[in-house]
Amino acid sequence: MSPAVSIKGLIKNYGRVKALRGLDLTIETGQIFCLLGPNGAGKSTLIKAIVGAVRPTSGTVEVLGHSMPMEARLARTRLGYMPQVPALYEDLSVRANVKFFGRSHRLEDLNRRIDRVLDFVGLLSLSGRRTGTLSGGLKQRCSLACALVHEPELLLLDEPTAGVDPVLKEGFWKHFRSLTEKGVTIVISTHLMDEPLICDRIGLLREGFMILEDTPENIVAMGKTDVRFDRNGKSFTERVGDYSRELPEMLKRYGLDQGISRISLHQEKLEDILLRIIRERKRDAE
């Protein structure tokens, strides 16, 4: 099966700002790909390049077999895009907004689809409300409904769950997974550190470079553990990689010192690992 997204040598400059600096990326069909990185790293620009909303300075972007942005019009019938800032018609009702997006795709059975998607995002009872009166979180849910109504093959979600309550967020993720089981590909950017762990692959962007791209399991395995020994009223800490193998060696080295009264472990979390990698690779680049 050909990949959903294939990007080679992508450079995007906004005047003097180098937003993307030569990016290669392949996203396989049916995967959830998570984009992470500090503010200004280039996540939104990358998503916009995939949607065909920004023209690359150089390099190629192929999406579902279409060259972007030249074939964006064709590709857009098969894409769903939820921007970071919801692009909704504030004077229109929730239902009318979703209908507007659905109409642009000339769908059969539109009313039934709208009901289904509004029910899914939990907005069915608010479908008559003017969108401008909704809170930020509710607007986001409406924006997600607009991105989903035409049942796209590739979904691009720029921070879709920021401001969404935990119960609904869990429901979204179940739905995203059920979509990928049907062959839908999802690209998602997020600031929340529990979400990358349930994606298939993670890409870490920094200053327009993809500095790491791997599975969550492999990235978590890069984590270090600080082992702290309290001995005779003093404490010292050693940093190790795989503590399950290295701890027995350390204990042998210390000969199970009678003075050791306590051993505590502090394992790096995903966020710690990613921040360390961002710092380490920054030092390497300097």
- Residues at the contact surface with ligand ADP, assessed by CB under 6 A: 14, 17, 19, 37, 39-45
Query: CB neighbours of 48 closer than 8 A, spacing ≥ 6?
Result: 54
Token pair 């270090």 is found at: 224
What is the chain's percent helix, strand, coil content, to nearest 5? 35, 30, 35
To ligand ADP, the closest distance from the beta carbon of 92 in angstroms equals 26
Select 22 or 40, whichever has its Cβ closest to ligand ADP.
Answer: 40
Tokens of residue 150, six digits = 């035409």
Instruction: Give the span between the Cα atoms of 211 and 197, in whole angstroms.
Output: 18
Select 57 or 180, whichever has its Cβ closest to ligand ADP.
Answer: 57
To ligand ADP, the closest distance from the beta carbon of 44 in angstroms equals 3
Select 85 or 221, whichever has its Cβ closest to ligand ADP.
Answer: 85
Could you tell me if 35 and 189 are in contact, meaning their C-beta atoms sit under 8 angstroms apart?
Answer: yes
Cα 286 off chain centre by: 28
To ligand ADP, the closest distance from the beta carbon of 233 in angstroms equals 48
Residue type, 24: D
Strands 17-27 and 5-14: antiparallel
DSSP three-state, residue 277 = helix
Instruction: Give the span between the Cα atoms of 223 and 51, in whole angstroms.
Output: 34
To ligand ADP, the closest distance from the beta carbon of 55 in angstroms equals 12
To ligand ADP, the closest distance from the beta carbon of 174 in angstroms equals 26
Select 58 or 104, whichever has its Cβ closest to ligand ADP.
Answer: 58
CA distances from 115 to 96, 106, 110, 147, 254 (A): 12, 17, 9, 14, 66
Could you tell me if 185 and 155 are in contact, meaning their C-beta atoms sit under 8 angstroms apart?
Answer: yes
To ligand ADP, the closest distance from the beta carbon of 39 in angstroms equals 4
Select 41 or 147, whichever has its Cβ closest to ligand ADP.
Answer: 41
Select 83 or 102, whichever has its Cβ closest to ligand ADP.
Answer: 83
Select 153 or 159, whichever has its Cβ closest to ligand ADP.
Answer: 159
To ligand ADP, the closest distance from the beta carbon of 265 in angstroms equals 33
Query: CB neighbours of 94 closer than 8 A, spacing ≥ 6?
Result: 118, 123, 126, 127, 128, 129, 131, 134, 142, 145
To ligand ADP, the closest distance from the beta carbon of 87 in angstroms equals 15
Instruction: Give the span between the Cα atoms of 70 and 158, in whole angstroms.
Output: 22
H helix count then E strand count, the chain: 9, 13
Select 20 or 126, whichever has its Cβ closest to ligand ADP.
Answer: 20
